[in-house]
């Protein structure tokens, strides 16, 4: 997932000089002197962020005032470029703040988040709704064809104008005031949702009193559960922390059905227990406010507003795409459910298949059908080996970049690793931070974002981080991960490459500042290299013997790549349709009861949601209520289509080669938002997106017929999404 920071909407106004009102002792008062201007986390205290951000807001408003009060006629440089240069203090403080509040938060940081949320909304409105600034921007936009701008300048001008219009620049003063009030409420509720969910996820972890209840887990996993209990002061017990999805990893292995049910229910009900962490009223109110905002801005629904500047353009296009997937998936889900029910009966079980049973029996069937035991894989998947000889090596083979570990850079937590990235010619490219292990004070899921944005105008190179929530091994145990974790590492590093290869002058169009239904394309595409035959021979190596994973085991993984696709893809598609249902509510629909609304919306998908529950319930759907993916969760499957098309192109042109990688870098990864998405993709692929390779990748045809999985020398990656 590409993380959408709290100040994402300010991305087109990031950069300026140090604030005069901020004490020199504050680490953000001046640009960092560390390499790449990386944040000095060793000197930053929790109490430094809020004053620096507030000073940054004041400073940027002063800079904008100088732009609009300029008596000289508007030019691109004194208006658009000046706005692009503004807000440097705000940017460096807020990007670091986003990193720590997402990955290593505490009470002080959460209090600052709550206090700053409405101020960010007010600050954004003060700029986007400034009539004098809009007048200057509009005067340039109206003359754009005669200004002799570079293609990137023309794009920045066009997007600036369009963004200001979308933000409400054409509204009356009365409507602008109403919009600002809605924006303040939305920003406050989004932070409240995020904080409630973090607390609910921690509190919802399953506490186990009897070790026998954990039968099926490995000794290492049981030891990790004991460590998690000790960290909470629960000596002599075991804790299975929740990940921020409906499915929990341990459901695959736990043999005790009662424990599986308890773990599933702990996740399913985590934020709907009627306590202080219940999110239902928060999301119901958010849905109403978003619909009201859309109406104020002239759109029928929030989804119409959101998709108007996305690749899909309209909710109708996105829904039709999902329906094309849904028909074959529903057939596959019922077929898979029948297989698992038959397996239960064959083993003497008399109970009906339930969601907490699915992954357990699917894993049994996987072992029987493909002779593939996931526990067989882990000894060959040591996380540092995967990172260096898998993720990094693929990037070197494709793009010529190399990586060097740095231990001199301050980080926000001791778990964080830092690497410097270099071009093939030795020129420095950027800096990468990796924070992989789960913590109770870390948001769920996995994501990428920037600590420093790339911009030739500002003279800055990218500083990027990847965050995940893998289970940390107990002390003295090897850092072994699942193959799903491997795929997540490749996914998030695909986002990182999109940011590292940014090559723009202006920060507002740099790197991953693209539409939701395009930003996941590079990450989904990068997943495909996890199963590349040659690459696996380097990274999939037994942690004790040093021997590569046997080819027989590799082939089993590939043959099983489309197994359980009804579950894997269906749960994500259900979540995407649930998201769209919430955000196609009309402003007249009023406040919904989340439980009743969710039940009705899921029933209308046509998918088997009784057996295959949505990947996220409304109550813990972080993506759409706090992370900028509202009416955009379909993007994961949409961009999986784009990614599979790209992988199909690579397969037809020789696979993982330096030449192919350079072409993809030049035509996609380095472009940022300097071009429109459809022509950019068409130029690379040779035609418009094609759903055929995507369905084939799932092992399906358009009419839902199964097709045999292919074990080829190039990768057809796991269909399991990692959003």
H/E stretch holding 450 reads strand 447-452
Pair of tokens at residue 158? 């066009």
Strands 238-240 and 463-470: unpaired
Cβ atoms of 342 and 331 closer than 8 Å: no
**8-state DSSP, 145:** G
How confident is the model over 390-426, as pLDDT tens digits? 999 999 999 999 999 999 999 999 999 999 999 999 9
- C-alpha closest to that of 473 among 216, 223, 217: 223
Lowest mean pLDDT among 163-172, 293-302, 558-567, 582-591: 558-567
DSSP 642-656: HHHHHHHHHHHTTSS
From the DSSP assignment, how many helices (H) and strands (E) are in the chain? Answer: 27, 7
Confidence check: pLDDT of 710 > 50:
no
Which residues does 331 contact at the CB level (< 8 Å), separation at least 6? 703, 704
**HSE (side-chain half, CA atoms, 13 Å) at 189:** 21
The edge-to-edge listing of strands for the beta sheet with 428-437 is 402-406, 417-422, 428-437, 463-470, 447-452
Angle (nearest 5°) at CA 574 between 573 and 580:
90
Distance from C-alpha of 19 to C-alpha of 24, rounded to nearest angstrom? 9
475 bridge partner residues: none
- Over residues 576-584, mean pLDDT: 98
Q: What is the pLDDT of residue 1?
A: 58
Helix (H, G, I), strand (E, B) or coil at 449: strand
| 456, two tokens | 């030739």
CA 704 to chain centre: 29
**Which pLDDT value is given to residue 242?**
95
Reported as a pLDDT band with limits 50, 70 and 90, residue 692 is confident
- C-alpha span between 401 and 232 (Å, rounded): 42
Rounded Cα gap, residues 262 and 522, in angstroms: 37
3-class secondary structure, 428: strand
β-strand pairing of 447-452 with 463-470: antiparallel
Considering only CA atoms, which of 664, 653, 672, 645 is closest in space to residue 399? 664
What pLDDT, on a 0 to 100 scale, did the predictor assign at position 723? Answer: 55
Yes or no: domain 8-170 corresponds to CATH 1.10.1370.40: yes
Provide CB contacts within 8 A for 241, sequence distance 6+. Answer: 201, 202, 205, 228, 438, 440
Between 44 and 697, name the one with better pLDDT. Answer: 44
d(CA 133, CA 144): 16
Tell which residue, 398, 400, 408, has the closest CA to residue 431: 408
Place of tokens 């940011």: 499
Parallel, antiparallel or unpaired: strands 463-470 and 428-437? parallel
Q: Classify burial at 263, counting beta carbons within 10 Å of its beta carbon; exposed 0-12, middle 13-18, buried 19 or more.
A: buried
**Whether residue 125 has pLDDT greater than 90:** yes
What Cα–Cα distance (Å) separates residue 211 from each residue in 154, 265, 480? 64, 19, 22
Sign of the Cα torsion 95, 101, 104, 105 reads positive
Contact between 621 and 270 (Cβ < 8 Å)? no
Task: Considering only CA atoms, give the Rg of the chain.
Answer: 25
Express each pLDDT in 452-499 by its tens digit: 999 999 999 999 999 999 999 988 999 999 999 999 999 999 999 999
For residue 324, how many other CB atoms are within 10 A of its CB?
15
Please state, for a pLDDT cut of 70, what percent of the chain lies above it: 94
CA distances from residue 444 to 401, 438, 629, 710 in whole angstroms, order as listed: 30, 8, 15, 33
Mean pLDDT, the chain, rounded, equals 92
Q: Is residue 19 pLDDT above 60, yes or no? A: no
Q: What is the DSSP letter of 667?
A: I
Contact 402, 396 (CB under 8 A): yes
36 vs 146: CA distance, rounded Å: 37
pTM for the structure as a whole: 0.87
% pLDDT > 90, the chain = 86
Which residue's entry shows tokens 């799903």? 484
Question: How does pLDDT run across 640-674, given as a tens digit for each residue?
Answer: 999 999 999 999 999 999 999 999 999 999 999 99
- Residue 423 CA to residue 660 CA, distance in Å, equals 17
Are residues 367 and 563 in contact, defined by beta-carbon separation less than 8 angstroms? no
Residue 704 near residue 607 (C-beta atoms within 8 A): no
- For the chain, the structural domain boundaries read 8-170, 204-268
Instruction: Name every residue whose Cβ is closer than 8 Å to that of residue 616 and which is 6 or more positions away in sequence.
Output: 244, 245, 246, 575, 578, 622, 623
pLDDT score of 348 more than 50: yes
- The Cα–Cα gap between 279 and 286 comes to 11
Contacts of 350 (CB under 8 A, 6+ apart): none
Query: Catalytic pick from 492, 527, 598, 637?
Result: 492
> Running DSSP on this structure, what letter comes out for residue 2?
B
Nearest-CA neighbor of 49 among 1, 128, 124, 120? 120
Say if residues 245 and 722 touch (Cβ distance below 8 Å). no
Q: How far apart are CA 631 and CA 315, in angstroms?
A: 8
Angle at 96 between CA 90 and CA 100, to 5 degrees: 135
- Among 100, 4, 86, residue whose Cα is nearest residue 49: 100
Task: Say how far apart CA 91 and CA 444 lie, in whole Å.
Answer: 24
Structure tokens belonging to residue 236: 């002599």
Could you tell me if 705 and 327 are in contact, meaning their C-beta atoms sit under 8 angstroms apart? no
Q: What token pair was written down for 687?
A: 């035609």
Mean pLDDT calculated for residue range 290-303:
97
695: confidence class by pLDDT, cuts 50, 70, 90: confident
- Tell me, yes or no, if 492 is annotated catalytic: yes
β-partners of residue 406 are 418
pLDDT over 60 at 717, yes or no: no
Looking from the CA of 31 toward its CB, the CA atoms found within 13 Å total 13
Q: Rank 94-98, 471-475, 676-680 by mean pLDDT and report only the highest.
A: 94-98
- Is the pLDDT assigned to residue 167 strictly greater than 90? yes
Q: What is the pLDDT of residue 376?
A: 87
Q: What is the mean pLDDT of residues 359-385?
A: 90
Cβ(129)–Cβ(167) below 8 Å: yes
CB neighbourhood size of 388 (10 A): 15
């Amino acid at each position: 997932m590409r993380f959408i920071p709290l100040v994402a909407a300010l991305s087109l106004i990031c950069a300026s000089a140090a604030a005069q009102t901020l004490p020199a002792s504050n680490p953000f008062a001046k640009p960092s002197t560390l390499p790449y201007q990386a944040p000095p986390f060793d000197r930053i205290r929790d109490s430094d962020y809020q004053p620096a951000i507030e000073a940054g807001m004041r400073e940027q408003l002063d800079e904008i005032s100088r732009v609009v009060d300029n008596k000289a006629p508007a030019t691109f440089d004194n208006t658009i470029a000046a706005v692009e240069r503004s807000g440097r203090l705000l940017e460096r403080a807020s990007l670091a703040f986003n990193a720590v509040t997402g990955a290593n938060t505490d009470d002080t940081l959460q209090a600052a988040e709550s206090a700053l949320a409405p101020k960010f909304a007010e600050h954004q409105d003060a700029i986007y709704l400034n009539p004098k600034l809009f007048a200057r921007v509009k005067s340039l936009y109206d003359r754009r064809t005669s200004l002799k701008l570079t293609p990137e300048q023309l794009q920045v001008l066009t997007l600036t104008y369009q963004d200001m219009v979308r933000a409400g620049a054409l509204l009356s003063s009365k409507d602008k005031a109403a919009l600002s009030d809605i924006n303040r409420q939305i920003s406050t509720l989004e932070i409240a949702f995020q904080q409630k969910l973090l607390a609910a996820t921690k509190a919802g972890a399953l506490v186990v009193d009897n070790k026998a209840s954990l039968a099926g887990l490995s000794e290492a996993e049981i030891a990790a559960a004991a460590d998690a209990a000790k960290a909470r002061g629960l000596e002599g017990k075991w804790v299975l922390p929740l990940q921020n999805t409906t499915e929990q990893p341990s459901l695959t292995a736990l043999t005790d059905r009662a424990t599986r049910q308890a773990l599933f229910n702990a996740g399913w009900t985590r934020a709907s227990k009627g306590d202080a962490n219940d999110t239902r009223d928060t999301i119901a109110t958010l849905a109403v406010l978003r619909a009201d905002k859309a109406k104020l801005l002239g759109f029928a629904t929030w989804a119409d507003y959101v998709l108007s500047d996305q690749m899909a353009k309209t909710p109708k296009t996105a829904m039709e795409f999902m329906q094309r997937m849904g028909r074959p998936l529903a057939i596959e889900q019922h077929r898979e459910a029948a297989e698992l029910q038959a397996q239960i009966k064959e083993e003497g079980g008399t109970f009906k298949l339930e969601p907490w049973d699915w992954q357990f029996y699917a894993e049994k069937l996987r072992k029987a059908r493909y002779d593939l035991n996931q526990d067989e894989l882990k000894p060959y998947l040591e996380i540092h080996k995967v990172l260096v000889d898998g993720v990094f090596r693929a990037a070197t083979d494709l793009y010529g970049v190399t990586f060097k570990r740095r231990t001199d850079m301050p980080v926000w937590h001791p778990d964080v690793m830092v690497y410097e990235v270099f071009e093939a010619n030795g020129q420095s490219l950027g800096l990468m931070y990796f924070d992989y292990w789960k913590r109770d004070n870390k948001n769920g899921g996995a994501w990428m974002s920037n600590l420093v944005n790339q911009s030739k105008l500002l003279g800055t190179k990218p500083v990027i981080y990847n965050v995940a929530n893998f289970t940390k091994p107990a002390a003295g145990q090897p850092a072994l991960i699942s193959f799903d974790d491997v795929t997540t590492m490749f996914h998030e590093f695909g986002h990182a490459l999109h940011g590292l290869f940014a090559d723009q002058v202006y920060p507002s169009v740099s790197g991953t500042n693209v539409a939701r239904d395009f930003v996941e394309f590079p990450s989904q595409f990068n997943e495909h290299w996890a199963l590349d035959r040659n690459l696996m021979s380097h990274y999939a190596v037994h942690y004790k013997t040093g021997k590569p994973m046997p080819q027989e085991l590799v082939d089993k993984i590939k043959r099983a790549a489309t197994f359980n696709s009804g579950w894997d893809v269906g749960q994500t598609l259900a979540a995407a349709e649930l998201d769209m249902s919430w955000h196609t509510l009309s402003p007249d629909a009023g406040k919904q009861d989340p439980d009743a609304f969710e039940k009705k919306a899921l029933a209308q998908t046509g998918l088997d949601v009784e057996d295959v529950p949505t990947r996220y319930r409304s109550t813990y759907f972080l993506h759409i209520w706090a992370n900028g993916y509202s009416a955009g969760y379909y993007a994961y499957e949409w961009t999986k289509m784009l990614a599979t098309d790209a992988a199909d192109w690579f397969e037809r042109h020789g696979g993982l080669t330096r030449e192919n990688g350079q072409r993809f870098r030049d035509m996609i990864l380095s472009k940022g938002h300097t071009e429109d998405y459809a022509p950019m993709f068409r130029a690379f692929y040779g035609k418009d997106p094609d759903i055929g390779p995507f369905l084939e990748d799932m092992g399906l045809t358009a009419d839902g017929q199964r097709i045999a999985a292919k074990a080829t020398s190039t990768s057809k990656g796991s269909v399991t999404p990692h959003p």
